Chains A and B, each alone.
Chain A
Amino acid sequence: MKHGYSGYVAIDVGRVPDLDLQYRESVCYLKALSQRLGFELEG
């Protein structure tokens, strides 16, 4: 945020046995992080 980044944050998880679960987990993690740190997150 200090440098004003407002682009895309791409979840880059792979080669795991529970792929879809780990993508869902990562989306939840990012949303929780955005609330905690106070940055806007879309998608």
Chain B
Amino acid sequence: MKISCCWLYAISKFGYPPSIANTYAAIDDMAGLGFRYIELEGVGEANLRAVWEERHGLRKRCEDLGLKVINFCPVLPDLISLDLAARQRALELFDLAVGLANYFGCETTQADSYTPPLEFLGDRPYKEMINFGGQFRVKINPDFRWEELWVNLVDSISHCVRSAEQAGIRFCLEPRVGENISNTDALLRLMEAVNNPNFGAVLDTGHQHAQKEILPLSVEKLGKRIFYLHVSDNDGRTNEHLALGRGTVVFSGPW
């Protein structure tokens, strides 16, 4: 296995999303910590396009520092929008992200399943960046149909998996607390519906421990469909992302 550094480092240090200037600063700091492998993100259309425009400089900085970008994650909540035009635009942006992943020589590209289109009364999960431990209340619109959202999700993720596959890149999705796919079994259901072996899991110990999952069982369920590991620790009650050893995750389990 190889140790890499998540983009959560950059957004925790420089904000969400980091400006391009701070993207360079984050890359410098990751190298300063001794990492050789890192992630990169494009958050929404403006930031994703800014990263695209700056791709040559960013890759050169990585090369100069001996860093390799191994995973590119576009953050595009409209991938699951019920507005067809918005969803189509997000799918086109995802294809741009695949181009970036390919340019950087990434092995994987990643997506989330995003927050369901419910009316949040108060705080909304991931409105800006991860807000660990939040409690959320929702109001269900009478017109909301989970089945319609599920079909959208399957269709969008199928597109993403194929787009990555055509570029020779593996696609992975991370179940996260509060999102449409929040646990291992939901991810397995989505994998079954998409039915493409180029679709794998990001096993995130922080989110899944907070989701009250038995991590070694998640590993058994996913097996070789685990394409990527995100590791952090917490107490199993809130989805904090603390240093390994500061919580109650049993790290001898996931591998």
Contact A37 B4, CB 8 Å, known A8-B229, A26-B244: no
Q: Contact: B1 with A10, CB < 8 Å?
A: no
Closest chain A CB from B176 CB (angstroms)? 11
The stretch from B55-63, B113-121, B220-228 touching chain A is B220-228
Minimum CB distance partner of B252 in chain A: A37
Whether a CB of chain A sits under 8 angstroms from the CB of B112 is no
What does DSSP make chain B's interface, helix, strand, loop or mixed? mixed
- In the complex, number of A-B residue pairs with CB atoms less than 8 Å apart: 145
Contact A12 B204, CB 8 Å, known A41-B3, A43-B3: yes
Minimum CB distance partner of B8 in chain A: A14
Whether a CB of chain A sits under 8 angstroms from the CB of B9 is yes
Minimum CB distance partner of B255 in chain A: A1
Closest chain B CB from A26 CB (angstroms)? 4
Q: Contact: A25 with B243, CB < 8 Å?
A: yes
A–B complex contacts, Cβ < 8 Å, 23 sampled: A3-B223, A4-B224, A5-B224, A7-B228, A8-B37, A9-B231, A10-B3, A10-B6, A10-B229, A10-B231, A11-B9, A11-B232, A12-B204, A12-B206, A13-B232, A15-B12, A16-B243, A22-B242, A25-B244, A25-B245, A27-B3, A33-B252, A42-B36
| 5 nearest A-B residue pairs (beta carbon) | A22-B243, A14-B8, A43-B3, A14-B12, A29-B244
